[in-house]
Amino acid sequence: MCPSSDKDKGQRGFIIPIGGAEEKLHDPAILDRFVGVCGGKPSRIAIIPTASELEDTGRNYEKLFRKLGVRHAQVLGIETRNDCQDEKHLDYLSRADGVFLTGGNQLRLSTTLGGTPVAQLIRRRNVAGMHVAGTSAGAAFMPEHMIAGGDVGSTPSPDKATLAPGLGLTNKFIIDQHFRQRDRLGRLLTALAYNPFAVGIGLDEDTAAFIGADDVLEVVGSGGITIVDPCDLSYSSMDIAKRGDPVSLIDIKLHVLISGGRFEMESRKATPGN
């Protein structure tokens, strides 16, 4: 699955990966910001709970968005690939201002949505201006290359990350979630070592990256985002490493950004928040 075309770059909607466990009650800054970019109260938000095996996940987000003032928040009950052909779902997505992908298991998303009319429509609509947010598994699924699983620890190793095709909204980033809480630096470094083209985004819980059409990332939330930039990588031992071996990576650049911090993809420049 190839990423969304950026020929309409100036019109593309936000891509908003969230690290999971976002605050929902006391100070839901991330969800408030998502509602705001979607247009506020009159906005129409489609909720896709496919990643979750819990029956009430979608309905809980539907109630939450309505509590935040959204007049039109609707769960799309997509459980099978056949559901991705449903004209009711496609019609709602064609008129939505935003899509929200819940957490759960990202392989449920990729195996259910991958290559279907729903996935294709989300990508086309994002290019045309619809905003797409995803939390936890929903965040991991958003780029072209998805981290499907892996081991904890800070040192990269050939078997520390499993990759699979994602939704394909962008090929410029690889995303990992619950980052600091679950010690996932090693698996993000491993994913980047396989092909150091993309930039790695490690999202702490209750932390989101709002990535605009200009490919500028802004941090929102209470945690941090680890940016791993391999553009100056001068050496990697990934090609000679065996399963379980540590991998050497030299001249990797790493930034840790907190709320208000920004990273510009074009210039590869990071700046702190105010």
CA distance 193 to 255: 17
Amino acid of residue 194:
Y
Contact criterion met (CB below 8 Å) for 127 and 145: no
Q: What is the DSSP letter of 145?
A: E
Tell me the backbone φ, ψ of residue 253, rounded to 5 degrees. -105, 135
Active-site position among 131, 178, 218, 236? 178
Residue whose structure tokens are 């979608």: 58
Active-site position among 22, 62, 144, 205? 205
Q: Is 136 labeled as catalytic in the residue annotation?
A: yes
Q: End-to-end CA distance of the chain: give it in Å, rounded.
A: 38
CA distance 21 to 204: 9
Active-site position among 136, 144, 157, 218? 136
Q: Is 205 labeled as catalytic in the residue annotation?
A: yes
List of E strands, 192-240 = 199-203, 207-211, 216-221, 225-229, 235-236
Active-site positions read: 136, 178, 205
